[in-house]
Amino acid sequence: MIKNNFKTFVAYSIFLFCLLTSKTYSQWELVTTQPDVIFSTGSSFSFGNYMGFGSSSSSKPGILFTSDFGLNWSLKTKYKSGIDSGVIAILNSETRIFASYYRDGLYLSTDTLNSWIEKNNGLNKNVNIWVIVANRDTLLIGTDSYGIYRSTNNGDNWNQVNKGLKSLNVERLKIDGNNILAGTSDGVYISTDYGDNWIAKNKGIENKEIYCLETNGNYIYAGTNGNGFFKSSDYGETWSNISNGLPKASYGLTIVQNDNILFATVGNFIAILGGVYISLDNGNNWIQRNEGISTTYKQLSSLIIVKDYLYLATTDLFQGVISKIFRARISDLITGIEDDAKVEVLNGKNFYAAPAFPTPSKDIAKIKIYWDTQYDVENAAREVYGILGNKLGESNNISIQNIQPYSAELQWDCSRVQNGVYLLMINYLGLNKIIPVLVVK
């Protein structure tokens, strides 16, 4: 039987949960720290060695800009003095950079952010522009209450193109060949005629407020407000939830893809879960990659890919306004995912476990385990303990499923326990292995 070692439980309880639910192969490094800057969600661009992140801060409005891959940064703004109107959307298209300012419309720079030209003819006064997309001289913008505008002459004139939209709060737009996708407060819409007509494509989407969109061939990915991510394999006709591995009730904030790899930022109502997640199988499974960054009470604003690196913009709004930009080499982020994100438990030799999923768990917690020697896993002693080492008598509720020669899946029926962190223990060749599980009903 597994012995109750109180000191071991107290010392390792919090440590193990963080270790096994957050331990990754990521190599995030801090690029810059920017006090009083508030990064806007999805407001970023890159081209060549240039990068820019929009700041919606009233004290530092503009675009945080670098021309040397992040070695040096400067704040570029159209204002000569501080005005309460920060940048909330950016588009880089060829030699043009468009930026929308809060309640101040759209502006164009053609000289790397040194000067700006107003591009508001036809736009409603005080409009908030959430997103800007372009295909040569044709531009579309999504707004907070006026729907979608289109310009066919590089922004000189604008006209509304809202036929078919049920919501005029348009947070995301995506140009995909001859199709345009719109993410609204009422779901996903698709236009095949550059905005003249919009058709709702929401069958299967449970929460219709869309935060982000991405495409890859016939796949469309949509991040929602509280239901994680959804995927369509038939270009919007039907949708299915793809949140395996993501926190419960998560917000799909941003998503980008590179060589069939998906990168996403995720938030959660608990505010201590979430972060950067990666999928190698079209979103069916997600693995957290947070090593080197703290996501607790942070706003994860933007993800962009620059050459071999992924850049992440974050803002801490709870302990003074401080924004940070991190980067990680993509090859470091994906290392180990092919092995189901196996992480060694307590450094125990030749025994591994994947983080419990879903996180948090509500009714059933599942944990994939691996080993590389002869092991009678079906008859191994197993128990569940509370965070302070109290045995719960839940051993009969732990089953072993999908047994293979060198792997299996632990399943714990946690439906009868209260919210909290629990320690599932299994005996491996005379050694006790501890696996933390977060339960939230």
Q: Confidence band (pLDDT; 50, 70, 90) for 293?
A: confident
Report the amino acid identity of residue 34: Q
With contact defined as beta carbons under 8 Å apart, do 221 and 205 qualify? no
Neighbours of 307 (CB within 10 A): 10
369 SS3 class = strand
Strand ranges of the sheet holding 240-241, from the earlier edge strand across to the other edge: 210-216, 219-224, 229-232, 240-241
The pLDDT of residue 369 is: 81
**Which helix (H) or strand (E) covers residue 12, if one does?**
helix 6-22
242 or 285, higher pLDDT: 242
Six token digits for residue 281 = 């199988």
Peptide bond into 358 cis (omega under 30): yes
120 phi, psi to nearest 5 deg: -115, 10
Peptide bond into 355 cis (omega under 30): no
For the domain 6-21+341-439, what is the CATH code? Answer: 2.60.40
- Between CA 197 and CA 293 the distance in angstroms is 43
- Between CA 393 and CA 353 the distance in angstroms is 22
The pLDDT of residue 288 is: 84
- What are the angstrom distances between the C-alpha of 340 and each of 167, 256, 318? 40, 21, 34
Mention every residue, 6+ apart, whose C-beta is less than 8 A from residue 81. Answer: none
- Is pLDDT above 70 for 49? yes
Say how many Å lie between the first and final Cα of the chain, rounded. Answer: 30
With contact defined as beta carbons under 8 Å apart, do 188 and 173 qualify? no
Q: Confidence band (pLDDT; 50, 70, 90) for 81?
A: very low
Note whether 6-21+341-439 and 26-337 share their fold: no
Ranges of each domain in the chain: 6-21+341-439, 26-337
The pLDDT of residue 246 is: 85
Mean pLDDT, rounded, for 364-386: 83
The per-residue pLDDT of the chain, averaged, comes to: 83
With contact defined as beta carbons under 8 Å apart, do 134 and 154 qualify? no
Mention every residue, 6+ apart, whose C-beta is less than 8 A from residue 230. Answer: 204, 205, 206, 221, 222, 224, 239, 240, 241, 242
The pLDDT of residue 297 is: 60
What pLDDT, in 10s, does the model give residues 21-32? Answer: 444 444 799 999
Nearest to 119 by CA among 153, 143, 146, 80: 153
Architecture of domain 26-337: 7 Propeller (2.130)
Across 85-89, 93-97, 170-174, 351-355, least confident range: 351-355
Nearest to 124 by CA among 108, 138, 103, 155: 103
Three-class SS of 88-99? EEEEEECCEEEE
The pLDDT of residue 88 is: 85
- Is pLDDT above 90 for 8? no
What pLDDT, in 10s, does the model give residues 181-208? Answer: 999 999 999 999 999 999 999 999 988 8
What is the DSSP code string of 192-241?
SSTTS--EE--TT-S---EEEEEEETTEEEEEEBSS-EEEESSTTSS-EE
